[in-house]
Amino acid sequence: MKIAVAGKGGVGKTFISGTLARLLARDGYNVLAVDADPNINLASTLGITREISDKIVPLSDNESLIEERTGVAPGSSYGSVFRLTPTVGDIVKKFGVVGPDDVQLLVMGTVKGGDTGCMCPANALLRVLIQHILIRERDVVVMDMVAGLEHLGRGTAKRVDTMIVVVEPRMKSVETVRRTLKLADEIEVQEVISAGNKIRNDKERRFVEERMGELGVPVAALIPYDPAVAEADMLGVAPLDHDEGSPAVNTLVALKDYLKRRYEF
Ligand SMILES: Nc1ncnc2c1ncn2[C@@H]1O[C@H](COP(=O)(O)OP(=O)(O)OP(=O)(O)O)[C@@H](O)[C@H]1O
Ligand SMILES: [Mg+2]
């Protein structure tokens, strides 16, 4: 089961992907969590300590690895000839970090200029790696995406079973859903569903349901605004470790069960 989590900046992608990854791992799945953000935000949501996460280098910044696998140093001039199909089978094992509930985290980093189709060595390596991960790795992969879906090209995106677009009850966030739908359709993601987040009242709940209805996107969860999640962030701990029974975490348990039913895994 390959799940990608997308949405506008700050809507709660990392909270949702990290918590989902751990909840699925607790159900016995072998879970890989992929962080597409070079700021390594997913680690803390997964409950990986600062001490460990501080030492992680995003693969996109790992120049010696990129050079070793593609034959070309990052930043080399355009037109350099490099290996288009670098070996990647050992990368998850080598660079992944195992956290609580045995979730393995791989920090990928961002593909620079990915949306312009730049075929720089880092880009080539990450593309092949993502393809490998989506085809070969684990029972469950949860990918915390960045807004433009740069990591997914046609071909790889087909391997994503579902993309959860996170939406706050704000018009700008709805606009991002609209753009994401268009992108997802172009690259042929199997299915896009949505999860409302930081919902404070019935008006906001209805807003999300109505806007998603207009866009024809199923609403898989309506996650309340939850002070415990904000608190966990301030304390630098995982929301799941801070308050396992908080309303937002409970809603994610329901989302996890919904996904298992909907996609029969
Ligand atoms: N349901 C919620 N209730 C309260 N606070 C929340 C909730 N969901 C997320 N937050 C808080 O909102 C902030 C942004 O969340 P998060 O980092 O998960 O978003 P993001 O979409 O991954 O952001 P970015 O685009 O910067 O990666 C965090 O401080 C997080 O703790
Ligand atoms: Mg994030």
pLDDT averaged over 10-residue windows placed end to end, the chain, 265 residues: 95 98 98 90 95 93 91 70 81 96 94 58 86 89 84 82 97 96 92 98 98 98 98 96 97 98 97
Amino acid identity at 146: V
- Calculate the CA 253 to chain-centre distance: 18
Question: Can you name the residues that pair with 164 across neighbouring β-strands?
Answer: 5, 193
- Of ligand 1's listed atoms, the one at least distance from the Cα of 226 is 3
Q: 110 CB under 6 A from ligand 1?
A: no
Instruction: Find the ligand nearest to 10 CA.
Output: 1
- Of ligand 1's listed atoms, the one at least distance from the Cα of 166 is 21
- Of ligand 1's listed atoms, the one at least distance from the Cα of 15 is 18
Model pTM score: 0.94
Q: 225 CB under 6 A from ligand 1?
A: yes
- Which of 229, 235, 243, when mutated, tests ligand 1's pocket best, judged by the most ligand atoms within 8 Å of its CB? 229
Q: 198 CB under 6 A from ligand 1?
A: yes
pLDDT of residue 121: 82
pLDDT of residue 116: 47
Count of residues making up the chain? 265
- Which of 146, 168, 200, 233, when mutated, tests ligand 1's pocket best, judged by the most ligand atoms within 8 Å of its CB? 233
pLDDT of residue 197: 98
pLDDT of residue 19: 98
